[in-house]
Structure 1
Amino acid sequence: MTPLISTPRGTVLRSAVALCLSAMLVASAGVSTADARMGSGSSFGSRGARTFSMPPSTATAPRPASPIQGTEMPRYGAPGMNPGTFGQPRRFGFGSGLAAGLLGAGVLGMLTGHGFFGGLGGIMSLFGFLLQIALIVLVVRFAFSFFRNRSTAYAGPSGPMGRAPLGGVGLGGLGGGGSSQAQSPITVTPADFTAFERSLSDIQYAYGREDMTALGRLVTPELLRKLGGELEDNRRRNLRNDLADVRLVQGDLAEAWREGRTDFATVAMRFASRDVLVDRTTGRVVEGDPARPVEATELWTFRRDDGGPWCLSAVQQTG
């Protein structure tokens, strides 16, 4: 009997299987390359009051950035604050408090024919009636003024929950991350761009060397914890990240702003590198291709405090 694979139908079947296997291998290689990168191709970190807002598109990164998922920035107000109750003013009615007691006494007196001074009779009774009317009017005006002032205080100077300018949100608002600082644009100088490009390679090489001391000088404490956790996970798996030939291909500024005494700058960077995961014991490549540099486009947000050096505070992938 002639084997199936020698027939025309068998040849077509075999070719289809080969194409499927090739496509699976290509897809697998793409995933492996992404997983080998610092951060495993995820979006993480903090961008101050703009942590939960999308940075503008640029020529380098025309597609929308991926939202930051891994962050220590609280989405609602300050840490430990209950978002369901913040900004809800206490409601006051006429059934409680000193004003309610005075008002109730006057109205009850009027209804029973006595009032505040009902037992004195004659002219004194008439005087008491007029006096209690005046007191009731004053109490009502005081109550309305009191409630109006409390509503204004809770609304804040620029609307409910203190919404800040430039798309930011004040304390307790969505997207604000607990920052009540006003935001203002800043100018990024050529020296700043040089620092960003240098950080691109310095951070990745320090990550490849597993040099936590160097990383501590180049990234925020939040990112140091994140990247340290990745390196520790690699050690548990007996893997090591091998990085070489990191090179910036293209970059431009997405946005830059100031919050209080802290500056932020989000930069779109397309860079190339040879980035693989290898077995610590044998040196065998587990993920990536050491002979083929790959390109990636990411949005890196840097921050500096009180005019100090720039530190990486967030990494976002492009859509």
Structure 2
Amino acid sequence: MEALQQTLYCCKKCWRRNNVLKVISTTLFFIFVFAFVSESFIDIADARARSGGRSYSRPMKTSPTKQTTAPASRTSTTQRGSSSFMRGLGGGLLGGFLGSMLFGGMGHAMGGGIGGSGIGLFEIILIGGLLYFLYRHFSRKKSSSMSHSTPGSFGPGGAHARPTPPVPPTPSRHEGPMPGGSPVGIDAPPPDTVSDALNMIRMSDQSFDEEKFKEFAQDVFFKVQAGWMRRDISTIEHLLGPELSAEYMKHFQEMKQKGQINRLENIAVRKVEIEDAGVSKNEEYLTIFFTANLLDYTLDESTDTVIEGSRTEPVKFAEKWTFARPAGSSDWKLSGIVD
């Protein structure tokens, strides 16, 4: 009788231990599946409301086809292999889990565990897969943070305040050949550096001056902010490219419908510098990098209450404003902004 009681006690203890292991294993399984699905299908994006416009980049030198196609093929193969492995691993884990549910416990489904402890092959595979996923996730995150963005690209942007920009210097363009025999904007090869691009702009526009252009860009910057606060596209439309103008007009209409006003006050510009430039057959562009401090808050038009931001706490921002003009034109337009 005493031996029977001891046997029942041991069985009860083992049953409790196996149930605890089952709960832990099940929890780990669902954590892994959730992380796997999130990694595969969720792309976190961050964008500001004032983004818009075109994108520009300086053409890069092309390499021979023989040197470029092979590495691309290897990269593609590696990515496909990794993706297939993860799909296979996820499918195997899912199959093991379903099997364990059908056949009465994880220990029985995977062979009874190691040494009767209840930790079976399924748990080992699950833990190993979870560790592998974490390693891949953090490695990829570290890699993406190191290659955050390329200086030659830009997009949409913001708006802030001050009056009347001066008219940019009227260029005295010449259509003759560049030194070396290539007409500017027709057969000239694309510039390799910002300095090369600026030199090409100077060759086609004898009046171009970097410092004067930065002054012009800063005045446009302030006037666009004023138009943004007034929600009035008519005062700044002549300064904007068609894409950015259309996006701003749509945004102003939405803000009026919501009864909201975005206030941008006490703007203090800290830095204005040319970050990128480019020349193609049909167009020239310059990207200006702005850093500034300001008060940025949104009001409810009917109650004058702050619904976003602060009237007293200034914020810092850094944005890239790109101006473009057709080859042969003197009319620079703000074509895109990115933060």
Output the TM-score relative to the length of structure 1.
0.45
Computing the radius of gyration from Cα coordinates, the structure with the larger value is: 1
Greater share of helix residues, 1 or 2?
2
